[in-house]
Amino acid sequence: MLENYGVDVAVVYPFDKNFSTFEASDYIEKVLIKSLQVKYLVIGYDHHFGKDRGGNIKLLQQLKDRYGYEVEEISAMDIDHNTISSSKIRHALEEANVDLANEFLDIIIFCTLRWCTEKNWENHGYPTANLKIGSEDKLIPKIGVYFVEVFLTGPYITVC
């Protein structure tokens, strides 16, 4: 998906204990400037970063001349007077409202799962597939019955 938007490289920093203690200004200097050599930064209107969420667009704008980068803020987007946010998307998934999550994301949610032989689901009188998510860190919709489109790729399936 990132490639479709013209992104050539994505860097994912592991969020560990050490990383979580970075002060916002240290994060800007050590990660964004020294490590990634950022020249142009785009940040969401309500994004906070660093220890205790101490960094935001104001701090980035204050330090841009010192470090020689440009910063752009993306304004809030809404659908039917509902501001879109990652917490609202997570909440929609937790409440099994996949249609709303899809609308907020402007994509069809998908996940790749592995066939599972464990019999941990009740028989509800209709065919079911026992599937296992690859990581407990993944947010998947609330347990329920869903109509899905499935693509088989070896032992894995992609569910949309």
How many whole angstroms separate alpha carbon 107 and alpha carbon 120? 30
Question: Residues 93-131: pLDDT tens digits?
Answer: 888 888 888 888 877 666 656 555 555 555 556 555 666
Neighbours of 76 (CB within 10 A): 10
Q: What does the buried/exposed string (b/e) look like for 128-139 if buried means 16 or more CB atoms within 10 Å of the residue's CB?
A: eeebeeeeeeee
Q: What percent of the chain has pLDDT over 90?
A: 31
Query: Mean pLDDT over residues 87-91, rounded?
Result: 87
Q: What is the pLDDT of residue 130?
A: 60
Evaluate if residue 58 carries a pLDDT over 60. Answer: yes
Evaluate if residue 25 carries a pLDDT over 70. Answer: yes
List, in order, residues 6 or more apart from 1 with CB less than 8 Å away. Answer: 107
Q: What residue spans define the domains of the chain?
A: 3-74, 82-159
Going by the DSSP 8-state scheme, the letter that residue 76 receives in this structure is P
75 vs 24, 47, 72, 78, 117, CA distance in Å? 21, 11, 10, 10, 46
Q: What is the pLDDT of residue 146?
A: 67
Query: Mean pLDDT over residues 74-98, rounded?
Result: 84
Amino acid at 92: A
Mean pLDDT of the chain: 80
How many whole angstroms separate alpha carbon 41 and alpha carbon 122? 49
Q: Which two tokens stand for residue 37?
A: 């050599």
E strands present in the chain: 40-44, 70-74, 78-79, 82-83, 111-115, 131-133, 150-153, 156-159
**DSSP-assigned letters across all residues of 138-149:** S--PPSS-----
Q: What is the pLDDT of residue 82?
A: 77
Q: What is the pLDDT of residue 134?
A: 64
Q: What is the pLDDT of residue 39?
A: 96
How many whole angstroms separate alpha carbon 113 and alpha carbon 8? 26
